[in-house]
Copies of this chain bind each other. A is one copy, B any other.
Amino acid sequence: MTEADARRRLVAGAADMIRRRGLNATSIREVAKHAATPLGSTYHYFPGGKQQLAAEAVRFAGETVGRMLAGQLAAGPVDGLRAFLALWREVLVGSEFRAGCPVLAVSVEEAPDEDRLAVLTAAAAVFDGWETQLADSLRDHGVADGEAEELATLVVAAAEGAVALCRAQRSTVPLDRVAARLESLLTAAAG
């Protein structure tokens, strides 16, 4: 395993642990164990410790979703929406409702110190990135500026909230209902 591979596995492992348990319950020790990497090496890769690893995990999740979104938005905003919601549905069903979104997870735990602020800042940038991708696509399809921004934020907020509702109710019904409404909304605006 190269250094880059080991680093990537730690980041992906941290993202998975955070989207299941949240940030407070994620330990660098367990992430290292999970990635079959010596604990000492994690401090070599992440001298800033858990908060640095968490910020990278958030950015990793943001980029993974963002790349998929960019690909699907090429076919139009409704295709992008469908792919975005399908991805969350897969995370929920594939984990038996035990995993959600790591970006949301870090956003709902208080940030008392500066280190933690770096994680929150990473989360803010990820949400902003997804919103911007969706808003740009809507604008490209003739939706006015303000409406495009509002719709894009609604999509990201509703998807994130629906994932939490699905985890609580151990059912995909909330996400399916949100998908139906958002799809008719985006089709009307940009169809």
- Give Cα A106–Cα B169 distance, bound, in whole angstroms: 12
Interface string of A53-80 (1 = CB under 8 A from B): 0000000000000000000000000000
Contact residues on A (Cβ < 8 Å of other chain), bracket: 35 or more
Tell me what chain A mostly uses at the interface: helix, strand, loop, or mixed: helix
Specify which of B99, B154, B168, B177 is in contact with A150 (CB 8 Å cutoff): B177
- Give Cα A135–Cα B98 distance, bound, in whole angstroms: 27
**A158 CB to nearest B CB, Å:** 4
| Contacting pair B109 A25 (CB below 8 A) | yes
- Give Cα A160–Cα B156 distance, bound, in whole angstroms: 11
Q: Is the C-beta of A178 less than 8 angstroms from some C-beta in chain B?
A: yes
| Contacting pair B124 A180 (CB below 8 A) | no
Given the known interface contacts A127-B165, A162-B157, A168-B123, the answer about A150 and B180 at a Cβ–Cβ threshold of 8 Å is: yes
Interface string of A168-186 (1 = CB under 8 A from B): 1110011001101110010
Specify which of B21, B98, B109, B128 is in contact with A21 (CB 8 Å cutoff): B109
A residues lining the B interface (CB < 8 Å): 20-22, 24-25, 98-101, 103-111, 120, 123-124, 127-128, 149-151, 153-154, 156-162, 164-165, 167-170, 173-174, 177-178, 180-182, 185
Known: A153-B178, A161-B162. 11 other contacts (CB 8 A): A21-B109, A22-B108, A107-B164, A108-B167, A120-B168, A153-B162, A153-B174, A157-B158, A157-B161, A157-B162, A157-B178
